[in-house]
């Protein structure tokens, strides 16, 4: 926990004092306190350049990350002015990236097709899923439970042991035998 006196020192310190302390010891609480003083400036500048509230919010976060590295190597006399320039440059770089690869507007007339072959793939996958579901239902209850926990819920063997109360080797056997039985069942339905 941060001592109250430390917080009071941070809020009462000048920009230059906080900056020097951060540069000497790398304490990110100092940088955060300094940056929070100017987040409105950063957001407003980013909004002016990027014209999007979401992009401006992203810029506020990105610029903080830039500061973590830049302030360790840069000599800064007036933090507020320097931060404004960093913000402006960040936004200009974002706009350059945007110009190089502008978003392409969705044009529905180019997406329409008379070819419905993709629907056949969807129907085939639905049939396969239905077969798999039927095969899972056909497993004995212990294998079914173990398969569902392992594959559908993403549980590891140790978690399944804790849930079912079976020993580790039994769980492993249930999962392996259940998988083999599922494969055999799926193959027999073809």
CA-based nearest residue to 99, from 88, 91, 111: 91
Q: Which domain holds residue 134?
A: 116-188
- On whether the CB atoms of residues 16 and 79 are closer than 8 A, the answer is yes
pTM: 0.48
Residue 161 within any structural domain of the chain: yes
Cα 157 to Cα 15, 81, 91, 148, distances in angstroms: 55, 58, 50, 12
pLDDT in tens, 113-146: 555 566 667 778 888 888 888 888 999 999 999 9
Asked if 140 and 95 sit in the same domain, the reply is no
Residue 61 within any structural domain of the chain: yes
Asked if 43 and 67 sit in the same domain, the reply is yes
Pick the residue with more confidence: 165 or 109? 165
Asked if 150 and 125 sit in the same domain, the reply is yes
Q: How many CB atoms lie within 10 A of CB 152?
A: 9
CATH code assigned at 167: 1.10.10.10
Flag whether pLDDT at 188 surpasses 60: yes
Flag whether pLDDT at 60 surpasses 70: yes
Find where tokens 């302030």 sit.
71
Q: Rounded distance, CA 1 to CA 125, Å?
A: 54
């Amino acid at each position: 926990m941060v001592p109250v006196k430390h917080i009071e020192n941070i809020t009462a310190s000048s920009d230059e004092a906080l900056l020097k302390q951060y540069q000497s010891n790398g304490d990110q609480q100092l940088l955060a306190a300094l940056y929070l003083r100017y987040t409105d400036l950063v957001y407003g500048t980013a909004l002016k350049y990027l014209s999007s509230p979401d992009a401006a919010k992203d810029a506020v976060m990105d610029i903080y990350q830039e500061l973590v590295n830049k302030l360790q190597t840069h000599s800064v006399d007036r933090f507020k002015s320097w931060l404004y320039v960093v913000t402006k440059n960040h936004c200009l770089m974002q706009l350059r990236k945007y110009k190089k690869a502008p978003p392409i507007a969705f044009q529905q007339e180019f997406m329409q097709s008379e070819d419905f072959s993709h629907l056949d793939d969807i129907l085939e996958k639905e049939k396969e899923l239905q077969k798999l579901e039927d095969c899972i239902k056909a497993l004995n209850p212990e294998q079914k439970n173990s398969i569902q926990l392992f594959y559908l819920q993403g549980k590891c063997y140790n978690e399944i042991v804790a849930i079912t109360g079976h020993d580790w080797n039994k769980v492993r056997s249930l999962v392996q035998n259940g998988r083999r039985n599922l494969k055999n069942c799926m193959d027999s339905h073809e």
